[in-house]
């Protein structure tokens, strides 16, 4: 497993809690996003150790796909992992699916995503889904800004997990820090942005026509029941197993928790605690706020300590 160097992004709705919670050395400003694993040209993360030290995942995907990642019928690196810190509401937004992204933007992937809530203030909420029955009602809602009456507001707390398929209207509320696992896309269509102004004093751009075109109507909430496996040294919980990715939470409470060999690559994000990882003669410490790339067929890893981490991988295609 190889550690990645994150990239930080200032956002109008961001804050400074990533500094407090993960001891990151943040740049100045309202830092809303840590791009922990990214092959997107707007923020490439680099391996900071191992034989491919200094390389980015897009380059490795192009040059060593079968060796490091596995066999996929995909044109580019497919996953993107973030930490988000919201001090105010994100825009009410929606993302295209793969076909729409190719047709509308000439991009390889749309954007389905999922949220694992790490911290949430009392009363924190998210917006996921709507109650509208046709595109005309969505157009009317956008014109009248009657969003409170047509969107689904969901209270959240630490440990909650939500799946946000492409086509789902959504927004993150204030007072939340979460881990987001998504498709490798930065394409967002804004429906409403609370009339906020950018640094130049201009209203932020909306994308109503495209947003309405890609929104799933009527809304079709997708809920997955987590599958929990109690092990001698911890708990393994499959949070999501569906296109386009699989997400697993690992809660290690004792010695020798086994992270088994895998035929395809995985990404690993440590969200709490610290542990020692061993493999043959190799031994290393992993701790909260670190993110790793695990190549395919790299063998078993033994994890000992008090730690919680999340692994993600591409769902079989």
Catalytic residue positions, numbered: 190
Other C-beta atoms closer than 10 Å to the C-beta of 101 total: 21
CA distances from 237 to 234, 241, 247, 272, 288 (A): 10, 11, 9, 16, 19
In sign, the C-alpha dihedral spanning 250, 256, 258, 261 is: positive
What is the widest separation between alpha-carbon atoms in the chain?
A: 64
Q: How far apart (Å, rounded) are the C-alpha atoms in residues 134 and 66?
A: 44
39 in Cβ contact with 82 (< 8 Å) = no
User: Which residues, 6 or more positions from 195, have their beta carbon under 8 angstroms from its beta carbon?
Assistant: 203
Read off the tokens for 215.
């929104």
Nearest CA to 26 out of 11, 40, 48, 41 is that of 11
Alpha-carbon distance of 64 to 152, in angstroms, equals 44
**CB of 226 within 8 A of CB of 202?**
no
């Amino acid at each position: 497993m190889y550690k990645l160097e994150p990239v930080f992004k200032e956002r109008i709705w961001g804050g400074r809690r990533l500094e407090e919670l993960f001891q990151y050395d943040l740049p100045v400003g309202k830092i809303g996003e840590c791009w922990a694993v990214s092959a997107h040209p707007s923020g490439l993360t680099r391996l900071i150790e191992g034989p491919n030290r200094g390389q980015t995942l897009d380059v490795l995907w192009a040059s060593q796909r079968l060796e490091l990642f596995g066999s996929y019928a995909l044109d580019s690196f497919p996953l993107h992992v973030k930490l988000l810190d919201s001090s105010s509401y994100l825009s009410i937004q929606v993302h295209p699916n793969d076909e729409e992204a190719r047709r509308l933007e000439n991009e390889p992937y749309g954007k389905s995503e999922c949220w694992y809530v790490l911290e949430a203030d009392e009363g924190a909420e998210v917006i996921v889904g709507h109650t509208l029955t046709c595109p005309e009602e969505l157009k009317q809602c956008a014109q009248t800004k009657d969003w409170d009456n047509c969107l689904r507001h969901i209270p959240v707390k630490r440990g909650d997990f939500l799946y946000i398929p492409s086509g789902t209207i959504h927004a993150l509320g204030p007072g939340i820090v979460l881990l987001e696992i998504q498709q490798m896309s930065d394409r967002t269509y804004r429906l409403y942005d609370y009339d906020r102004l950018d640094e130049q004093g201009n209203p932020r751009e909306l994308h109503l026509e495209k947003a309405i075109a890609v929104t799933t109507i009527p809304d079709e909430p997708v809920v997955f029941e987590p599958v929990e496996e109690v092990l001698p040294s911890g708990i393994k919980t499959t949070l999501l197993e569906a296109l386009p990715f699989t997400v697993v939470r690992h809660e290690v409470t004792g010695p020798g928790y086994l992270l088994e060999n895998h035929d395809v690559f995985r990404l690993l994000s440590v969200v709490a605690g610290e542990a020692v990882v061993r493999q043959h003669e190799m031994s290393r410490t992993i701790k909260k706020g670190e993110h790793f790339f695990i190549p395919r067929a790299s063998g078993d890893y033994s994890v000992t300590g008090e730690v919680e981490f999340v692994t993600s991988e591409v769902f079989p295609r």
